[in-house]
């Protein structure tokens, strides 16, 4: 490395076990801002560095550390079409109309559907809810389902987390006499369906709320409808106004599970939603936490890795409406039954995923070659479960650090697949362009995730199109594989008090990553395989203090091999800290992200 390249290296790590450069998250200006934050607000130095590393200015610290929905909630009418949409839903409540909710089959769709249904029930309605079968109906509104809802008496159709690109199905709804409202957040084309489309990502929306999940947009819609009903004198002593803060638990779940940026209003949704969830007042969510064996108060990662996958399991390999039914359930016995079924389906999903992933990784490695050339990974097989391909795409993206698709080929000659992208590469745009050109039959999504339906014979052309279209963006995104470090501690300093201090900068998630903490020159006192492919370790500092650690899905990867081969030797270790709760006891655990040798900046791991 040249002197200019080595400048700013953290602990001098120029090449880690995973081939990354370690750098401080803060440049000189960031260091100055961290110092100012620490001095003015009397915050611990490490917390000040974390805040500065996330772009928090000195004057914004108090607001960032206490994000409130009340302060950050905009006037819902800033969203295009919100005012007439809210008025139409309020009309339905006052007239006692039959409202139909059409939701997506993922967590964002389930939470959006449940949120809207809970509010409408409080307003005296009994809405119909339809969640499409992922395999037999596919994504978004379809004509058969809409006809069925019309036959059951629906006069108002509200789609949530879908509908923005559903031109023909929603045209059929209008032909059948239904009014249609779309509440969505997916990227939109210039042409919109014949409906009131409330979507911060439609091209003519100036709200700057495009980072919201669909459940966040749905919450704003309910706020607007509630305001209209209040102005019209709808709420009375016999029908008291619904406390909208009671909905924040499901808003938090949908927001985290959909991996939208945790900034601004989204941070407030999650922070306050977690508080509501910890009160365990929602029968459905409480039953789900118990089924997931979640001990202690829920944290953001629990929503993304424990609760979200179980809600999703119904839509992936079981009954698509199980998640919504659980979130709306008022009977504790029935809630426990549904939660147990979702937990069982999630275990079944995990087994299916394991076999599919092995096939997909083998296909990807064969296509990329030993030098792993290529901008994208596109895998496909006839025996894959369509409900799990999104998870496979996510794993491939992590494994090969490039956009990835996994496609389930069906007997009829078509394939249905999902793609996941890396930061800086807009996958949704590429898929929409493929649809417009006729290369794929159907598709859409957003920058980080997309779905496609295509003919089997178009697979090679689709792969070539992605390579050609995304190569430049992928090369740029992968050029600097830096691991950004927030600070360093030793094993003795990694205690519950430190974790509480770090947690003040949360909730953590997309766009507000968990603090990456380095443990310089710690001895690997123990390292061994645990579970399917994890590595459990213990790290010892120079003063003899120990911190427990684990590297997930790493045993057959360079990270795991480095830990195993350095037993009794020193390594620089970087990762995120958490409290591991087991059998009523708490212990600090480091989730290892990377390791590096302690000798030179260029040697990396032998």
Domain containing 555 — which CATH number? 2.40.50.460
Specify whether 325 is located in the same domain as 415: no
Q: Are residues 463 and 538 in the same domain?
A: no
- Token readout for 115 is 């949120």
Residue 584: the pLDDT is 67
C-beta separation of 116 from 127 below 8 A: yes
* Last residue within a domain, chosen from 326, 343, 360: 343
- With CA atoms as reference, report the closest residue to 342 among 315, 320, 310, 306: 310
Instruction: Give me the CATH number covering residue 418.
Output: 3.10.310.30
How many domains, in total, are found in the chain? Answer: 4
The residue segments making up the domain with residue 537 are 3-25+483-596
State residue 481's pLDDT score.
Answer: 78
Q: Are residues 459 and 488 in the same domain?
A: no
Do residues 58 and 91 both lie within one domain?
no
Q: Which residues of the chain have pLDDT under 70?
A: 1-7, 370-371, 583-584, 600-606
Element containing residue 530 per DSSP (H, E): strand 517-530
CB contact burial 30-49 (16+ within 10 A = b; e otherwise): beebbeebbeeeebeebbbb
272 and 154 within one domain? yes
Does some domain include residue 111? yes
The answer to whether residue 188 sits within a structural domain is yes
Q: Is residue 120 part of a domain?
A: yes
- The partner residues of 406 in beta bridges, in order of sequence, read 379, 418
Whether 177 and 246 share a structural domain: yes
Residue 524: count of CB within 10 angstroms of its CB: 22
Structure tokens at 551: 């590297």
pTM across the whole model: 0.89
Cα–Cα distance measured from residue 292 to residue 254, given in angstroms and rounded to the nearest whole number = 17
| 592: enclosing H helix or E strand | strand 585-596
> Given this model, what pLDDT does residue 371 score?
66
- 168 within domain boundaries: yes
Query: Residue 359: inside a domain, yes or no?
Result: no
Which residues contact residue 224 at a Cβ distance below 8 angstroms, ignoring those fewer than 6 apart?
76, 77, 82, 83, 85, 86
If asked whether residues 315 and 424 sit together in one domain, one would say no
Place of tokens 């839509």: 315
Same domain, 81 and 134: yes
Check whether residue 237 and residue 293 sit in a common domain: yes
Tell me the DSSP string of 427-478.
HHHHHHHHHHTTSSSEEEEETTEEEEEEEGGGHHHHHHHHHHHHHHHHHHHH
Q: Could you tell me if 430 and 459 lie in one domain? A: yes
Q: So what's the pLDDT on residue 189?
A: 86
Q: What pLDDT was estimated at residue 604?
A: 41
Any domain includes 354: no
Indicate the burial class of 484 (C-beta count within 10 angstroms; 0-12, 13-18, 19 or more).
middle
The CATH number covering residue 216 comes to 3.90.1640.30
Last residue of a domain, one of 479, 502, 519: 479
Same domain, 536 and 455: no
Q: Return the H-helix or E-strand segment holding 404.
A: strand 404-409
My answer on whether 120 and 173 are in the same domain is: yes
Rounded (5°) CA angle 482-488-492: 145
Tokens coding 217: 């947009």
Q: Would residue 438 count as lying in a domain?
A: yes
Last residue of a domain, one of 479, 509, 542: 479
Note whether residue 429 is domain-resident.
Answer: yes
Q: Collapse the DSSP code of 264 into the 3-class scheme (helix H, G, I; strand E, B; otherwise coil) and give the result.
A: coil
């Amino acid at each position: 490395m040249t002197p200019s390249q080595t400048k700013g290296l953290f602990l001098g790590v120029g090449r880690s076990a995973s081939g990354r450069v370690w750098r401080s998250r803060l440049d000189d200006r960031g260091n100055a801002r961290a110092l100012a934050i620490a001095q003015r607000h009397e915050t611990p130095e490490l917390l000040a560095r974390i805040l500065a590393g996330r772009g928090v200015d000195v004057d914004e610290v108090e607001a960032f550390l206490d994000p409130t929905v009340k302060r950050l909630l905009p006037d819902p009418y800033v969203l295009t079409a919100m005012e007439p949409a809210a008025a139409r839903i309020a009309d339905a409540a006052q007239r006692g109309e039959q409202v139909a909710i059409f939701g997506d089959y993922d967590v964002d769709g389930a939470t959006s559907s449940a949120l809207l249904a809970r509010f409408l029930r409080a307003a005296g309605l009994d809405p119909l809810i339809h969640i499409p079968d992922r395999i037999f109906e596919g994504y978004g509104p379809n004509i058969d389902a809409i006809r069925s809802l019309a036959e059951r008496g629906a006069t108002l159709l509200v789609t949530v987390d879908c509908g923005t690109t559903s031109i023909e199905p929603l045209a059929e709804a209008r032909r059948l006499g239904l009014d249609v409202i779309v509440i969505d957040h997916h990227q939109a084309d210039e042409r919109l369906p014949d409906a009131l489309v409330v979507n911060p990502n439609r091209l003519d929306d100036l709200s700057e709320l495009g980072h919201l999940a669909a459940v966040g947009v749905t919450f704003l819609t309910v706020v607007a409808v509630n305001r209209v009903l209040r102005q019209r004198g709808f709420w009375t002593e016999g029908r008291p106004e619904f406390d909208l803060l009671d909905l924040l638990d499901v808003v938090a779940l949908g927001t985290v599970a959909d991996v939208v940026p945790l900034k601004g209003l989204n941070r407030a949704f999650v922070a306050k939603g977690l508080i509501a969830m910890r009160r365990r007042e929602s029968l459905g969510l409480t039953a789900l936490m118990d089924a997931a064996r979640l001990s202690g108060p829920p944290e953001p990662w629990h929503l993304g890795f424990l609760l979200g996958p179980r809600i999703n399991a119904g839509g992936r390999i079981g009954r698509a409406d199980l998640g919504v039914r659980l979130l709306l359930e008022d009977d504790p016995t029935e809630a426990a039954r549904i939660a147990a079924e979702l937990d069982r389906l999630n275990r079944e999903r995990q087994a299916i995923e394991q076999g599919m992933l092995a096939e997909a990784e083998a296909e990807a490695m064969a296509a990329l070659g030993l030098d792993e050339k290529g901008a994208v990974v596109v895998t496909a097989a006839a025996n894959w479960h369509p409900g799990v391909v999104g998870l496979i795409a996510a794993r491939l993206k992590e494994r090969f650090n490039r956009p990835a698709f996994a496609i389930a080929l069906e007997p009829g000659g078509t394939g249905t697949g999902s793609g996941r992208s890396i930061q800086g590469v807009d996958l949704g745009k590429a898929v929409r362009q493929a649809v417009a050109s006729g290369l794929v039959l159907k598709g859409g999504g957003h920058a980080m995730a997309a779905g496609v339906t295509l003919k089997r014979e178009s697979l090679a052309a689709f792969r070539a199109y992605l390579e050609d279209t995304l190569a430049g963006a992928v090369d740029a995104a992968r050029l600097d594989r830096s691991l950004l470090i927030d600070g360093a501690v030793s094993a003795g300093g990694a205690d519950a008090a430190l974790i509480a201090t770090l947690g003040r900068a949360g909730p953590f998630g997309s766009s507000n990553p968990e603090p990456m903490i380095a443990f310089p020159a710690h001895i690997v006192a123990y390292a061994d395989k645990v579970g399917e492919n994890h590595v459990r370790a213990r790290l010892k500092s120079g003063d003899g203090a120990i911190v427990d650690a684990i590297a997930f899905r790493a045993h057959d990867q360079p990270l795991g091999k480095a830990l195993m081969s350095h037993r009794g030797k020193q390594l620089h270790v970087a990762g995120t800290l958490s409290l591991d709760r087991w059998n009523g006891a708490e212990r600090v655990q480091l989730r290892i992200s990377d390791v590096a040798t302690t000798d030179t900046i260029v040697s990396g791991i032998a």
